């Protein structure tokens, strides 16, 4: 596998974000992501709206927030700013978990700082790897091949 810049999420620092990413990657979501660039406000709203919907028996539902808990922020992986994230019209549904708002806010700042530091701009050749470190259940296992 080619070498890409690595964005690490430490379970000891952001346990809920790291756990959400760890679970998504263990479920088969990509570890190498392609930055598509900042989303214009209108497109960002459409993508975020699609991200928070799911269907059961042709009935559409929204992934709820969890009021009166510390886990009342929804976090998607792969990130919305990546090609692997949600599509504008539900073409791709990312993994969504519930995390504390403070961790979700920190993650956004961490991702922005990482992209700037690494000089990553939109484009098909602007890939980066996402890793979770210090997870109590160990590293993400390699994806099984069909």
Over residues 3-55, the pLDDT tens digits come to 899 999 999 999 999 999 999 999 999 999 999 877 666 666 666 666 666 66
- Do residues 128 and 4 touch, judged by C-beta distance below 8 A? yes
Query: What is the separation of C-alpha 88 from the centre of its chain, rounded to a whole number of angstroms?
Result: 15
- Do residues 31 and 140 touch, judged by C-beta distance below 8 A? yes
First vs last Cα of the chain: how many Å apart? 18
What pTM value is reported for the model? 0.81
């Amino acid at each position: 596998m080619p070498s890409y810049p690595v964005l690490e999420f430490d379970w000891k620092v952001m346990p809920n974000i790291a756990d959400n990413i760890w679970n998504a990657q263990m479920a088969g979501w990509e570890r190498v992501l392609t930055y598509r660039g900042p989303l214009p406000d209108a497109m960002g709203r459409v993508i975020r709206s699609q991200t928070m919907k799911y269907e059961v028996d042709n009935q559409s539902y929204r992934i709820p927030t969890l009021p009166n808990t510390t886990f009342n922020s929804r976090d998607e992986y792969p990130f919305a700013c990546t090609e692997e994230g949600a599509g504008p019209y539900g073409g791709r549904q990312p993994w969504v978990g519930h995390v504390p708002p403070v961790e979700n806010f920190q993650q956004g700042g961490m991702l922005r700082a990482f992209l700037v530091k690494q000089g990553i701009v939109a484009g098909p050749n602007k890939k980066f790897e996402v890793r979770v470190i210090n997870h109590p259940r160990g590293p993400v296992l390699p994806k099984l091949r069909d």
